[in-house]
Each structure stands twice: as structure tokens, then as C-alpha cells.
Structure 1
Amino acid sequence: MSTPHLTTASGTVSSADRSGFHAIYDFAHSHPPLQKCAELWSEYGLSLFVLLLVFNLWLGYRRGTRQLAAAVTVILAGFVALGGNNVIKAAVAEARPCQVDHSVEALGGCPLPGDYSFMSTHTVAAASIAIGTLYISRRAGRLACLGTVLMCASRIMIGMHWPGDVVAGLVFGGVVAAAGQWLLTPLLDRLFILMSGARLPLVKSSPPDAQR
């Protein structure tokens, strides 16, 4: 009979996480081209999300104060989400799959003990940017959401995270992004309107159909 939990010096991993991880990791490990694609996306995918931040700013500048405020909020919410993730990582102190299961070959090398697993930083960052982008451009946001799902899968496929790490990162990053759009964007919008009125009309008023 399998034990319900795997207990290590760095936290406890549930049996659901273990079985889910091995179902995904073992499948990718048995298909090297798939695992190589996962490694490349895990390594370089976030660079495209950073470029998306620049695209959001450009699009927001063209469309008006509201969209520009939303684009700035995406960046600020991302920093908040990453900061919160670091606090949670230290508090949970969950070991990575490759740190507790020597049969797991983490592509790119297994991080040293103390580099914890919960939550996935890559997933938190991608989810925060993707959900925030939906408030600026639905088409770009949908593509970013797809990229985020692929990032979730890739982090498991290369042996870096348990499924619970990426699911939690997905939810946490998305909630922080949505909360930022709700709380901060209206304030920044008013600030940009005041700035453009007091100085130069750097940005236009937002048209009603700005999000496309």
C-alpha cells in the first residue's frame, strides 16, 4: 500500500502530487523531443512574457489613459505577485521533485536544497502577466493564457515542480493580477488624466471599444 504523503526535511508532498507528477514527467521523459520542447519553453518562454509587457505599454499609450494605466498595473502586480511568492516559498519550504526523488532527472540541473518548490515562480509570473493582459487586449491575453498553461506543463515535464506548485502559482498570479486591475488601474487612470491635463496631452482618452 502506498503512503499518503512523502515527508522530507523540506515539507510534505501529497500522494496526489506525486502520482500527478510522475504521470506527466514519465510521459515527457519517454518522449525526448517533447521534453526538449518543454525545456526550451521553460527556459526562454518568460522572455516572451517580458516582451508582452512592452507591447502592453505601447498599446496602452496608443489607446488612452485607461489602457496605459492597465499596462502599468500589469507590471506592478507582477512585482507584488513575485514578492508574495518568495514569502510563501520560504514559509512552506517544499522540496522539489528532483531533490527528493533521485530517479528524476531535472533538465538544466537540480537546484540546491533551500531553493524551494511551492509555488512555481515561472507560473506566478506568467499567470500574472497573462491575466493582466486580458484587460488590455483580449487576443493577446488569450495567447498569453495559452502560453501560461504550457509553462505549467513544462515545469513539471522537466522535473522542477509538483503539479500543486504550478496550480497554486496559476491561481495566485491570476488573483493578484485581477485584484491589481480592480484596485490600482482606476487610480492610475485618474493620475494620468491629471498629468496629461497639467502638462502635455501625451495620451488620448480611451475609446469605448479599446479592448480588442
Structure 2
Amino acid sequence: MPESFVADLVGLSTDWYLAVAALAEQSPPWLRLTAEIGTEAGLALFAALFLAAWWRARARGARDMALALLAPCATVAVYLVSETVKSVLHQQRPCHVLTDVMTIAQCPPAGDWSFPSNHAAITAAAAAAVIVAWRRLAAVALPLAVLMGFSRVFVGVHYPHDVMVGFLLGVLLAPLLVLLLAPLLARLVQRLRERPLPVPLLADALGGRRALGGHRVSSAGR
């Protein structure tokens, strides 16, 4: 059953993959190089977004800090789910099946399965989770996640359906995990902040407000 399901998906998206591969082959060298580097290096940009959300949360309430801390944790959880699905379905990468197609990136070794795309799952999860923590980051996080997902097909290492399913896993699971665990972690953060010697990484909401000029920061303008 899983094998036939994967085979049907491969059949549906092979034409899309070939169309994108042809586009990549005709693209200028600078674009191919940018895609090859960016498809991996782009993950570091999400680490920067996590850091920005955490830094902002240091001067805000316990719930904001909980959301910021849970964003990378939820991303790791989604990656583990994606990797588990890969290990069950065993779909070969297109660059192993369609060997006459030029790819920008080197094809991963056999056994490094294709479905779903871990990169797409990670970037979608990171984007969704960090937006829950700080909505204003949506303008950066969402386009970046979509671009990262497309790059996996553009460089030749994934079918379109690998990316789409990975994206769905990230977008659906990461916010759910963050919102389910936020109340529990927020209580813990509040207790740690109220200790005589507070945890520096969690900062102090009251101290943060004083640093901002004594005005209480509203959580409405995420």
C-alpha cells in the first residue's frame, strides 16, 4: 500500500520535475550557483529568525518567551516525523531514477530517501512556528520557506510532491505543537523569572519593560 501510494505520487509529479529541471538547465550560471548554495545555507536564516524571536521575547511576557523557545523545538520534532516517514516509504530521489536529467546539486547517496523533503518540512515548520511566536516575521519567513522548498526541485534532488508534502507536515504540525505546549512552558518560564536569581536566557519581563523606557509592552502588536 505505501509503495503504490508513492508510485502514484511520483507519476503525477515527474512531468513537473522535468519542467523545472529544464528551466534550471537553461538558467544563467550565477543563478545555478546561487541555488546550489542557497538551498543549504538558507536554513541558517531560520536560525537567525529564531534568535530574533527569542531576543524580542526577553522583554515580554512569559507566554511570548515560551512561544519563542518552542519554535525551534517544534521544528526539530517535525524533522523527526519527516525522517520517520522517509524510512517507511523508501522513495528514490529523482536524480537516481531520471539519470539522464542534469541536476545542479550532487545527488545524495542511495538510501537517502526523497519523500517527504526534510528541507521543506524543516523550513515550513520553522516559518510557521516563528510566525506564531512573532507574527511580523511572516513577511520574511513565508517567502523564504517557499523559496527554499522550490530550490529543492530546482537543484534536482526532489520531486515537487516531496516538497509539497514536507511543507504540509511543517505548516500543520509545528504550530500545533507550539500552541499545545505553550501554556505549560509559560508557567515554567514565569516561575524561573520570579526566582531570586532569574535565568538570564529567559530575561525578566519587568526589567525588559524598564529598559524600554518604563512603558508596558502590549502583546497585541506581534
TM-score by length of 1: 0.88
Match of 1:147 among 136, 144, 148: 144
Contact 1:134–1:142 (CA<8 Å) still a contact in 2? no
Q: Could you list the per-position Cα deviations for residues 135-156 of structure 1 after superposition, in whole angstroms to 9, with x for gaps in the alignment?
A: 2222223311100000111000
Match of residue 3 from structure 1: none
List per-residue Cα deviations over 1:65-104 (Å, max 9, x = no partner): 1111001110110111111111101111111110101122
Cα contact 2:67–2:133 (8 A) shared by 1: yes
- In terms of mean alpha carbon deviation, does 138-147 or 87-96 score higher? 138-147
Q: Could you tell me which residue of structure 1 aligns to residue 75 of structure 2?
A: 78
Asked if 1:53 is matched to 2:54, the reply is: no
Q: Which ranges in structure 2 are unaligned for 5 or more consecutive residues?
A: 207-215
Instruction: Say if 2:87 is the partner of 1:90.
Output: yes
Report the CA distance shift for 1:190/1:63 in structure 2 as closer, same or farther (over 3 A): same
The structure carrying a bigger helix percent of its residues is: 2
Task: Give the match for residue 11 of structure 2.
Answer: 15
State the shift of 1:123 in Å. Answer: 1.1
Residue identity opposite 1:74 in structure 2? A
Which residue does the alignment assign to 1:34?
A: 31
Query: What pairs up with 1:80-159 in 2 under 5 angstroms?
Result: 80-159=77-156
1:130 touches 1:142 (CA, 8 Å); kept in 2? Answer: no
Match of 1:209 among 211, 215, 219: 219
- Taking the aligned partners of 2:69 and 2:117, their CA distance within structure 1 comes to 23
Q: What SS class does the counterpart of residue 14 from structure 1 fall into?
A: helix
In 1, are the aligned partners of 2:57 and 2:68 still within 8 Å (CA)? Answer: yes
Bigger shift: 26-35 or 153-162?
26-35
Q: Cα RMSD between the aligned structures?
A: 2.1
- Alpha-carbon distance in 1 for matches of 2:40, 2:193: 40
CA contact (8 A) 1:61 1:68 kept: yes
2:168 corresponds to 1:171: yes
